[in-house]
Amino acid sequence: MVGSVLLERMKAENDFASFDPVFFSTSQAGQDGPDVGKGKAPLRDANDIAALAEMDMIVSCQGGDYTTAVHSPLRSSGWSGLWIDAASTLRMAQDAVIILDPVNRKNIDQALAAGTKDFIGGNCTVSLMLMAIGSLFDKGWVEWVNASTYQAASGAGARNMRELVLQMRALGACKTADDPRAAILDLDREVQGVMQADQFPQDEFGAALAGSLIPWIDKLVEEGQTREEWKGMVETNKILGLHSSIPVDGTCVRIGAMRSHSQALTIKLKRDIPLDEIEATLRAGNEWVDFVANNKADTLQRLSPAACSGTLTIPVGRVRKMKLGPEYLSVYTVGDQLLWGAAEPLRRMVLIALNKL
Ligand code: HSE
C-alpha cells in the first residue's frame, strides 16, 4: 500500500525524470513492471542479492521482514549504495538516519556528507507529530509531550482497511436505523448485537473497530507500554538529533478512520510562552502546516481525517493553554498516515540524494 502511494506521488511530481528506475518484486518477478513513462520492463527478483547490488539506490516499501532478510546480505556483499525504506528494522541502528527532511534536513545533509548509507522513514505517528510541532522543539520550548493518538486503520495494513469498511457495512445494515420512529435504544441493541455476533468480521483487528475503538497498537514492550507508544520517545529524539532526551509518552489508540492519524498533544513548555508567539511559531513550522483557529466552524471544516486524507496538509488546531497551568499547552493535529507518515519522506530522500531537492 505504501509502495502504491509512493509510486503515485513520484509520478505526480515527475520524479522519474531524474533517474532510471528498476522495479523489483518478491512475488511477481518476470511479470510486467509499472510503466512510469519509460516503457514497461519485467520485474526483477527482489530476493536476488546480486541483482539488487547493481543498483545505486534501493527504495523498499516491502516491510521489516524483507529488510531483515536482504539488507545485511547486501551490505556483506560489499554493496555501498543508499538504502531507503520505511520499516522499523534499521531505524534505531546507530548508523541509520530517520528521514523527515522538513524537520531534520540538516541532519540528513550532514549524514550524506559523512557517508551514511541507510536512510529510514520514521514511525507514522512520530513523523506526523513532528511535522505539526517540530517548530516548538526547534525553539527549545518543550519539556515533555504526552500524545493521545487516534490512529487510522491504514496503519495496520490494507486488509485492516477493508475489514473496517466491512464492519461499517455490517453495522449499516441494522434495519432499525431505517425506521425514524423506532426507539433509539432498540437501534443501539441491534448494533451491539451485530458487533458481538460470531460472524462480525474481525479476523484482522481481533475486535470491533467500527462503532468502537481499540486502545492497543502493536505488541507489549516494557512497563506496560506498547511498541507504538515506545517509538514516540526514541524516534522523536533521534529525528531531532537531541543529546539529552525529551520525554514523549502517551496512549496509542486505533479508531475507525481510514488513512489519517490524529493526535491530541499535551505539551509541557519550559516556561509560560504567550499563545500568539506559539501560534506564529507553529504557522512558520513548514509549508504544509495549516494552522486552524480554535473555533467550531474551522475545526469541523479543516481539522479531521475527512478533511485532510489524500493531501500533504498537516492541520494543527485546538491550540490553547490548559487549566493545568500556563506552561501546559494543548494541541490537536491530523495527517495522512500514508503520505507524510510513510511515502513522502522516502521520495524526498531520493531527490535529496540526487541533489534535486
Ligand atoms: N504503526 C503505525 C500504526 C503505522 O499502526 O498506525 C505506521 O508507522
240 CA from centroid of ligand 1 (Å)? 20
Give pairs for 213-217: CB < 8 Å, separation 24+.
Answer: 213/253, 213/254, 213/255, 213/256, 214/253, 214/254, 215/251, 215/252, 215/253, 215/254, 216/252, 216/254, 217/149, 217/151, 217/155, 217/156, 217/252, 217/253, 217/254
Exposure string of 190-208, with b = 16+ CB inside 10 Å and e = fewer, is bbeebbeeeebbbebbeeb
337 CA from centroid of ligand 1 (Å)? 8
122 CA from centroid of ligand 1 (Å)? 10
- Distance of alpha carbon 85 from alpha carbon 104, whole angstroms: 17
Q: Is the CB of 155 under 6 A from ligand 1?
A: yes
Q: Whose CA is nearest to atom 2 of ligand 1?
A: 155
CB 128 within 8 A of CB 261: yes
Q: Is the CB of 228 under 6 A from ligand 1?
A: yes
In this predicted structure, what is the pLDDT of residue 90? 97
Burial of 116 (0-12, 13-18, 19+ CB in 10 A): middle
Residue identified by cell 494543527 is 316
For residue 78, CA distances in Å to 7, 44, 72, 167 come to: 28, 20, 10, 49
Q: Is the CB of 232 under 6 A from ligand 1?
A: no
Q: What angle do CA 105, 110, 116 make, to 5 degrees?
A: 110
Residues 6+ apart with CB under 8 A from 23: 33, 34, 41, 43, 44
Q: What angle do CA 326, 329, 331 make, to 5 degrees?
A: 160
Ligand 1 atom nearest residue 151's Cα: 6
In this predicted structure, what is the pLDDT of residue 244? 85
In this predicted structure, what is the pLDDT of residue 205? 98
Task: Please state whether beta strands 57-60 and 82-85 pair in parallel, antiparallel, or not at all (unpaired).
Answer: parallel
Best mutation site among 88, 92, 125, 263 for ligand 1 pocket (most ligand atoms within 8 Å of CB): 125
Ligand 1 atom nearest residue 254's Cα: 6
Residue identified by cell 531534520 is 104
Catalytic residues: 124, 261
Q: Whose CA is nearest to atom 6 of ligand 1?
A: 155
Q: Is the CB of 151 under 6 A from ligand 1?
A: yes
CB 251 within 8 A of CB 292: no
Ligand 1 atom nearest residue 155's Cα: 6
Burial of 265 (0-12, 13-18, 19+ CB in 10 A): buried
For residue 335, CA distances in Å to 85, 154, 268, 279, 301 come to: 20, 12, 22, 18, 14
In this predicted structure, what is the pLDDT of residue 243? 83
- Distance of alpha carbon 218 from alpha carbon 156, whole angstroms: 9
Residues 6+ apart with CB under 8 A from 182: 176
Q: Is the CB of 338 under 6 A from ligand 1?
A: no
Give the pTM: 0.97
Query: Tens of pLDDT along the chain (357 residues)?
Result: 999 999 999 999 999 999 999 999 999 999 999 999 989 999 999 999 999 999 999 999 999 999 999 999 999 999 999 999 999 999 999 999 999 999 999 999 999 999 999 999 999 999 999 999 999 999 999 999 999 999 999 999 999 999 999 999 999 999 999 999 999 999 999 999 999 999 999 999 999 999 999 999 999 998 999 999 999 999 999 999 998 899 999 999 999 999 999 999 999 999 999 999 999 999 999 999 999 999 999 999 999 999 999 999 999 999 999 999 999 999 999 999 999 999 999 999 999 999 999
How many helices (H) and strands (E) are present in the chain, helices listed first? 12, 12
Best mutation site among 228, 235, 259 for ligand 1 pocket (most ligand atoms within 8 Å of CB): 228
Residue identified by cell 512558520 is 284
Q: Which three cell numbers stand for residue 43?
A: 520485474
- Distance of alpha carbon 184 from alpha carbon 189, whole angstroms: 9
Ligand 1 atom nearest residue 217's Cα: 5
- Distance of alpha carbon 357 from alpha carbon 341, whole angstroms: 19
156 CA from centroid of ligand 1 (Å)? 6
